Amino acid sequence: MHQHLVALAATLQLARLAADSDPAAATALLEEMSRDVRQALNETALLAQSIYPSTLELGGLAALLRAAAVNADVAATVDVGDGSSHAPEVAMTVYLCWLALLAGGNNETGVTICVREAEDALAFELVGKGAKSEAHLDRLRDRVEALGGRLTIEPDPEGVIRLSGSLPLRR
C-alpha cells in the first residue's frame, strides 16, 4: 500500500506540472491517480479486515472463515460448526492460519479447513498448497503457542501443507 501512496504523490506532482502546459496529459494523470486511490483504498480495507474483521462480531468464526474463502476467490471447503462463540484471540488465530493457506491457494488444488470443539480446546486442521513463507508459518505457530495451544506444520514434497492445531477454550 505504501508503494501505491508514494506513486500517487509522484503522479500528483506530474499532474500539477502538466496542468497549465498540457491539460490532456494532466487529465490522463488524474485518471491514473484515481485508479491508484481505489487500489490503495481496497488494500486498506483488506488490511483492516485482517486486523479485526467485522464479520467476526456479526457472524462468529464460521462466517468469518467462509467470508475469507469467498473473498480469496479460491476453491475452498469450510467445515465449521455454527453457533459457537469463541474468544476473539482464539478466533483470530484460526482465521490468520486460514488466510495463510488461502493466500497460496488456487482453484486446481483448493484449500480446506475443519474446526471442531473437543473437550476444552478448539481443534483445527487446514490443508492447502503454497502457503506463505516458512517464516510466516513459524510466526503463526508462535501465535498459537502464545495462547497455550499447539500448531503442527506438515509440508509434503508436492507443496501441500497441513496445519493441525488446537487452542484452549477459556470460558
pLDDT along the chain (171 residues), means of 10: 77 84 86 80 63 58 82 83 75 86 71 87 86 77 94 86 89 52
Task: Give the pLDDT confidence score for residue 107 in this predicted structure.
Answer: 59
> Where does 55-168 sit in CATH, by number?
3.30.565.10
Task: Give the pLDDT confidence score for residue 8 in this predicted structure.
Answer: 80
Q: CA–CA separation, 24 vs 30, rounded Å? A: 10
pTM (two decimals): 0.64
Q: CA–CA separation, 115 vs 12, rounded Å? A: 48
- The domains of the chain are located at 2-49, 55-168
Task: Give the pLDDT confidence score for residue 164 in this predicted structure.
Answer: 93
Task: Give the pLDDT confidence score for residue 57 in this predicted structure.
Answer: 56
Task: Give the pLDDT confidence score for residue 54 in this predicted structure.
Answer: 56
Tell me the H-state helices in 105-153. 134-146
